[in-house]
Amino acid sequence: MNRKHMRKKLFFTLFTCLLFTGCSAQTKKDSSEQAIRAVLQQQFTAPDAEYIRLAEEVEKQLLENRKETADPQGVVSLPEGAPELQEMEAYVKETFDPYFTENGYENMRPLLFFYHWSTMDYELEVTDLSINQSDVAPTHYDFIAQVLYTNRQGQTLPFEITGTAICPEEGKIGKMTVDDHGLMQQMQQDFPQS
């Protein structure tokens, strides 16, 4: 009877360990996929009204600073710590920081609102998104996003966005590479700099 009780106890302990190990691996995968999904949705759903408002405030302040200089074509910047820049940086950090490692955020920060232009009439929409964890390297995830780009003439073009994200911590992206397969080039063609 004692042996039977020990076997049940051992079986229960092994089952519990396997259950928690499987659940913890699934949780890591799920939270990492959620982070990747959130970042891609934010990057390729545009325009972001709050970001545009903040970018316009920065641009407005830059124009005012340019008027105050003798050379209207001269390089003008906002001083470090300018309220407009701080507010914009706070918004970017609030939006993306939860999904990145500290180093990952610092490396990706300049590109996070890359597809959000303030003075253009356009729209980006993610219509489908698939994320697959690598069998060989469990911290690596490949993704494919289907994005519709509508320009100011109302023409809608589909783009496939592909890339890889590395999640060294649970739910945190350490590195991300993105290939937009010509989306930025099309946007620049539709909205040439004057």
User: Could you list the pLDDT tens digit for every one of the 194 residues in the chain?
Assistant: 566 655 555 544 444 444 454 444 455 569 999 999 999 999 999 989 999 899 899 888 888 877 776 555 666 677 778 898 899 899 999 999 999 999 999 999 888 888 887 667 899 999 999 999 999 999 999 999 999 999 989 999 999 999 999 999 999 999 999 999 999 999 989 887 64
Neighbours of 193 (CB within 10 A): 4
Please give the pLDDT value at position 73. 64
Give the phi and the psi of residue 154 in degrees, each rounded to 5: 85, 5
Is the pTM value of this prediction over 0.75?
A: yes
Please give the pLDDT value at position 102. 94
Give the phi and the psi of residue 107 in degrees, each rounded to 5: -75, -35
Is the separation of the CB atoms in 91 and 51 below 8 Å?
Answer: yes
CATH topology of domain 2-72+81-190: Nuclear Transport Factor 2; Chain: A, (3.10.450)
* Strands (DSSP E) found in the chain: 123-133, 140-150, 156-166, 175-179
Please give the pLDDT value at position 194. 45
